[in-house]
Amino acid sequence: MEKIKVLLVDDEVDFSLVLSRRLEKRGFDVGMAGGAAEAVKALAQRPVDVVLLDIKMPGKDGIQLLGEIKRQYPGIAVVMLTAHAESDIVISSLAMGACDYLLKPADVDELVNKLQDAVLQYNK
């Protein structure tokens, strides 16, 4: 089975490094971007199956980037990640096409399941 390609978009570098290592140990191929501009470049250079997207970032936030991803890459699954459980933001991200969301700090096993489910949902 081919590894699931994930783009982790989060401005918290230490969090991203730890999460990336944990996902790689579970068989994922993980790329990282520290913000929206970096994520747009990464998506243009390397195809991915799923984007794990932080909602709160400086500059263009995760909701704005979600809209851009869905316009440019409608076949890519997106799972939102947030430290803030604001129901209106979560609901709007799901309405915009995100597959699911998780609260930080995320349980890695739950995250793995959500990423796998998101990819399966988009590859039907």
| pLDDT tens digit sequence for 76-86 | 999 998 887 77
Preceding amide of 105 cis, omega within 30 = yes
Whole-angstrom Cα distance, residue 88 to residue 33? 25
Domains of the chain: 5-86+98-111 (3.40.50.2300)
Whether the pTM exceeds 0.75: the reply is yes
Instruction: Give the model's pLDDT for residue 59.
Output: 85
Are the C-beta atoms of residues 99 and 77 closer than 8 Å to each other? yes
